[in-house]
């Protein structure tokens, strides 16, 4: 028997120890020398094939950038940036760190350097988001713009009064020539060529006589000023009232959009906060798991040193330790990303990193049943009200456009005055001269005028342009009705999904709590049994993995309860329509809201 055992090769013994050699082969090898020799040859060939496959697999792996690990109990060095992004909170957030940067500024290199981690509660996060959110602030500007448009449309009921004025200087040079003498007009001797006698008694021309070809040329300059008031008032305009109603409906649409955006923002911030709480807790769970791995690996090394466990157990524990290290590193990266996601929602300065200060507390069961939740969500829903307001605005715009084909009657009135000053100079006479009576070196003129009347217009033909625009608005109104139906169905689907998932999360949380308690006791027993040699390392690893999964499942169920509650709250949470009204964060549905949400209430 000793000779037969010696005949077995070292490779066959290794295969037998590794479990690759079937147990029934050994008795056959011991029973007869020829059969044992054949089995040894088969094992040798199998070993050669396995060894070639392992070498081929080893060539597929990338080369190690670092030397092999010497101390198996040493943990890897984490990246410096990852450690910096996962620092503990230095304290609560300060009001100065909660002020958003100017909207058109880009952060500098110094501002991108994190000053530290600041802790804040969920209520603080919501208050900061309501004050800092760029999208919410943009919607506030949209509400203000819609209000200004309504005020502008209301002005069409009043007359318009405008002042006008103009003034200037005009210069020219003109020449006046008489093509016929003026002595035949019968105006007397003053206009006759020989109508007067000079001092010597000889006949001479009268002072107003102009011979044929007599002319005068002069430079003229005129300063003028005119001004007055003008009034216009539309007595009959069928497009005025629909335009005002359309502007009022647009204002309501923007206000309801603002209220719905408040709801959505609260849900986004709540989900980001709960997710950050979950990532924080996952880091703690995986860190504790890694510490347990190190303790179990130390125990396994001690047992291996005593010859109580095979080398395989040490290798399995090292592989589990490496895998859990990767999980912890990834959880640190996930927490860093979750912090930045919350900071973006809150629009915090670039140097501020938020961290949750609230402990993970399970929200209570949703106080309404499914039917009451649906009825309360439909009543006064700002998302639906915004669509109705849009539909009303489109209807009124269609009427205002169609009114362009109807007659219009307007009243106008204006009154004003004018004044001018004319100067003549640089005279030049020729052909005996003329026009002396009109050559005034400096003269001024002033006057006033007024007018009033009615303007009647009626567009008789525009090739169907106005009618086509009215039809287009009517089709958009019909499309808004279909959008209302689609949104109504989406609201029901969202509520039902959140309601059923909320109920399921509460039930899973109860099961997860029992699972954690059982898994924790099982892990304690498995580790004690492993240390005493009564249980295998494989069973210990499976029990440890089951414990970590139970802790994660309990954490996920807790966070899902809170998230589904926040989703239900989003559909029923009352929010102000006035963009200037203060906003109070609400994390639960209060009793007054329950009374107003009861079925049958108006």
Helix runs in 347-450, H state only: 370-378, 382-402
Read off the pLDDT band of 67 (50, 70, 90): low
pLDDT computed for residue 465 by the predictor: 93
Q: Are strands 91-92 and 116-120 parallel, antiparallel or unpaired?
A: parallel
Residue spans of beta strands (DSSP E) within 269-401? 352-356
Hey, what are 175's tokens? 């020449």
Hey, what are 245's tokens? 């109603």
Question: Is the CB of residue 463 less than 8 Å from the CB of residue 438?
Answer: no
Read off the pLDDT band of 440 (50, 70, 90): confident
Q: What is the DSSP string of 37-96?
A: HHHHHHHHHHHHHHHHHHHHHHHHSPPPSSPPPS-TTPPPPPPHHHHHHTPPP-EEPPGG
pLDDT computed for residue 23 by the predictor: 40
Measured CA to CA, the distance from residue 38 to residue 573 in angstroms comes to 81
Question: CA 197, 203, 204, 208: dihedral to nearest 10 degrees?
Answer: 70
Measured CA to CA, the distance from residue 584 to residue 575 in angstroms comes to 9
Q: At 336, is the secondary structure helix, strand, or coil?
A: helix
Read off the pLDDT band of 73 (50, 70, 90): low
| 370-378 and 537-572 helices, crossing angle to 10° | 40
pTM for the predicted model, two decimal places: 0.78
> Is the pLDDT confidence value at 11 over 60?
no
Read off the pLDDT band of 95 (50, 70, 90): confident
pLDDT computed for residue 178 by the predictor: 83
Average pLDDT of the segment spanning 494-512: 95
Measured CA to CA, the distance from residue 359 to residue 559 in angstroms comes to 11
Average pLDDT of the segment spanning 90-116: 79
Measured CA to CA, the distance from residue 332 to residue 81 in angstroms comes to 11
> Is the pLDDT confidence value at 9 over 50?
no
Q: At 19, is the secondary structure helix, strand, or coil?
A: coil
Hey, what are 231's tokens? 């009034």
Read off the pLDDT band of 17 (50, 70, 90): very low
Lowest mean pLDDT segment, chosen from 25-34, 202-211, 259-268, 389-398: 25-34
Question: Is the CB of residue 90 less than 8 Å from the CB of residue 118?
Answer: yes
The dihedral region occupied by 423, where left means phi > 0, alpha psi between -120 and 50, and beta the remainder, is beta
> Is the pLDDT confidence value at 250 over 60?
yes
pLDDT computed for residue 331 by the predictor: 95
pLDDT computed for residue 97 by the predictor: 80
Measured CA to CA, the distance from residue 1 to residue 53 in angstroms comes to 34
> Considering only CA atoms, which of 588, 574, 563 is closest in space to residue 497?
563
pLDDT in tens, 456-473: 999 888 899 999 999 999
> Is the pLDDT confidence value at 592 over 80?
no
pLDDT in tens, 262-319: 999 999 999 999 999 999 999 999 999 999 999 999 988 988 888 888 888 888 989 9
pLDDT > 90: what percent of the chain?
50
Question: Is the CB of residue 130 less than 8 Å from the CB of residue 98?
Answer: no
pLDDT > 70: what percent of the chain?
87
Question: Is the CB of residue 136 less than 8 Å from the CB of residue 266?
Answer: no
Hey, what are 415's tokens? 């009154």
pLDDT in tens, 209-248: 888 888 888 888 888 899 999 999 999 999 999 999 999 9
pLDDT computed for residue 186 by the predictor: 77
Going by the DSSP 8-state scheme, the letter that residue 333 receives in this structure is H
Query: Rounded to the nearest 5°, which phi and psi values hold at 120?
Result: -155, 155
Average pLDDT of the segment spanning 551-566: 96
Measured CA to CA, the distance from residue 140 to residue 150 in angstroms comes to 16
pLDDT computed for residue 597 by the predictor: 47
> Is the pLDDT confidence value at 4 over 50?
no
Measured CA to CA, the distance from residue 541 to residue 211 in angstroms comes to 135
CB atoms within 10 A of CB 432: 16
pLDDT computed for residue 594 by the predictor: 57
pLDDT in tens, 18-61: 444 444 444 444 344 456 666 777 777 777 776 777 677 656 65
Q: At 281, is the secondary structure helix, strand, or coil?
A: helix
Q: Which residue has the higher pLDDT, 20 or 350?
A: 350
pLDDT computed for residue 271 by the predictor: 97
Hey, what are 386's tokens? 């915004």
Query: Rounded to the nearest 5°, which phi and psi values hold at 226?
Result: -140, 140
CA distances to 71, 302, 319, 392, 427 from 294, in Å: 12, 12, 12, 69, 118
Q: Is the dihedral of CA 56, 57, 60, 66 positive or negative?
A: negative
Q: Which residue has the higher pLDDT, 307 or 153?
A: 153
> Is the pLDDT confidence value at 251 over 80?
yes
Average pLDDT of the segment spanning 435-447: 79
Question: Is the CB of residue 389 less than 8 Å from the CB of residue 377?
Answer: no
> Is the pLDDT confidence value at 388 over 90?
yes
Sheet containing strand 442-457, edge to edge, reads 160-177, 215-236, 408-430, 442-457
Average pLDDT of the segment spanning 493-507: 96
pLDDT computed for residue 602 by the predictor: 31
Q: Which residues contact 346 (CB under 8 A, 6 or more apart)?
A: 98, 125, 128, 129, 132, 133, 269, 354
Q: Are strands 116-120 and 352-356 parallel, antiparallel or unpaired?
A: parallel
Lowest mean pLDDT segment, chosen from 94-98, 375-379, 389-393: 94-98
> Considering only CA atoms, which of 260, 245, 283, 218 is closest in space to residue 441?
218
pLDDT computed for residue 174 by the predictor: 84
Residue 153's Cβ-count burial label (10 Å; 0-12, 13-18, 19+) is: buried
> Is the pLDDT confidence value at 133 over 90?
yes
Average pLDDT of the segment spanning 130-147: 94
Read off the pLDDT band of 71 (50, 70, 90): low
> Is the pLDDT confidence value at 8 over 60?
no
Lowest mean pLDDT segment, chosen from 77-86, 348-357, 388-397, 429-438: 429-438
Report the Cα 374 to chain-centroid distance in Å: 27
What is the pLDDT of the chain when averaged over all its residues? 85
Question: Is the CB of residue 487 less than 8 Å from the CB of residue 446?
Answer: no
pLDDT computed for residue 475 by the predictor: 93
Question: Is the CB of residue 455 less than 8 Å from the CB of residue 410?
Answer: yes
Going by the DSSP 8-state scheme, the letter that residue 427 receives in this structure is E
CB atoms within 10 A of CB 107: 12
The dihedral region occupied by 213, where left means phi > 0, alpha psi between -120 and 50, and beta the remainder, is left
pLDDT computed for residue 240 by the predictor: 92
pLDDT computed for residue 31 by the predictor: 43
């Amino acid at each position: 028997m000793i000779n037969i055992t010696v005949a077995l090769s070292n490779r066959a013994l290794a295969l037998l120890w590794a479990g690759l050699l079937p147990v029934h082969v050994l008795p056959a090898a011991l029973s007869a020398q020829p059969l044992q020799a054949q089995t040894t040859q088969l094992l040798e060939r199998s070993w050669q094939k396995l060894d070639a496959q392992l070498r081929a697999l080893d060539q597929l792996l990338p080369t190690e950038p670092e030397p092999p690990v010497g101390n198996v109990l040493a943990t890897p060095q984490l990246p410096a940036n990852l450690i910096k992004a996962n620092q503990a909170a230095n304290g609560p957030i300060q009001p100065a760190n909660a002020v958003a940067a100017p909207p058109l500024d880009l952060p500098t290199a110094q501002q991108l350097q994190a000053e530290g981690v600041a802790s804040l509660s969920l209520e603080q996060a919501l208050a900061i988001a309501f004050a800092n959110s760029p999208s919410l602030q943009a919607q506030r500007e949209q509400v203000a713009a819609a209000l200004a448009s309504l005020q502008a449309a209301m002005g069409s009921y009043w007359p318009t009064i405008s002042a006008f004025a103009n003034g200037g200087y005009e210069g020219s040079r003109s020449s006046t020539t008489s093509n016929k003498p003026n002595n035949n007009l019968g105006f007397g001797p003053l206009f006759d060529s020989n109508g007067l006698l000079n001092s010597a008694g000889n006949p001479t021309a009268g002072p107003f006589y102009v011979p044929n070809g007599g002319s005068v040329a002069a430079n003229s300059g005129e300063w003028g000023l005119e001004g007055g008031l003008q009034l216009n008032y539309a007595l009959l305009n069928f497009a005025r009232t629909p335009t005002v109603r359309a502007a009022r409906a647009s204002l309501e649409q923007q206000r309801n959009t603002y209220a719905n955006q408040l709801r959505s923002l609260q849900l986004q911030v709540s989900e980001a906060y709960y997710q950050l709480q979950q990532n924080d807790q996952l880091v703690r769970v995986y860190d504790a798991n890694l510490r347990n791995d190190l303790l179990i690996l130390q125990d396994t090394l001690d047992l291996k040193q005593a010859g109580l466990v095979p080398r395989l157990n040490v290798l399995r524990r090292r592989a589990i330790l490496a895998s859990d290290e990767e999980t912890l590193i990834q959880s640190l990266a996930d927490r860093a990303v979750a912090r930045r996601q919350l900071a973006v929602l809150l629009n915090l300065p670039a140097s501020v990193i938020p961290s949750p200060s609230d402990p993970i507390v399970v929200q209570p069961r949703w106080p309404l049943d499914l039917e009451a939740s649906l009825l309360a969500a439909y009543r006064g829903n700002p998302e639906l009200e915004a669509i109705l307001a849009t539909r009303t605005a489109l209807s009124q715009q269609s009427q205002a456009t169609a009114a362009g084909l109807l007659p219009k009657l307007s009243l106008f009135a204006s009154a004003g005055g004018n004044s001018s000053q004319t100067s003549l100079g640089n005279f030049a006479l020729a052909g005996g001269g003329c026009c002396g009576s009109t050559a005034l070196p400096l003269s001024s003129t002033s006057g006033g005028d007024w007018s009033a009347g009615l303007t009647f217009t009626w567009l008789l033909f525009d090739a169907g342009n106005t009618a086509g625009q009215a039809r287009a608005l009517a089709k958009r109104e019909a499309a808004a009705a279909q959008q209302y139906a689609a949104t109504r169905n989406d609201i029901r689907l969202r509520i039902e999904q959140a309601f059923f998932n909320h109920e399921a999360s509460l039930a899973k949380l109860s099961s997860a709590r029992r699972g954690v308690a059982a898994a924790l006791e099982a892990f304690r027993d498995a580790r004690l049994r492993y240390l005493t040699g009564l249980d295998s390392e494989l069973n210990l690893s499976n029990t440890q993995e089951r414990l970590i999964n139970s802790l994660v499942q309990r954490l996920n169920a807790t966070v899902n309860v809170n998230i589904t509650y926040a989703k239900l709250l989003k559909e029923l949470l009352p929010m102000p329509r006035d963009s200037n009204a203060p906003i109070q964060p609400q994390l639960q549905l209060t009793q007054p809201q329950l009374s107003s949400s009861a079925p049958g209430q108006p």
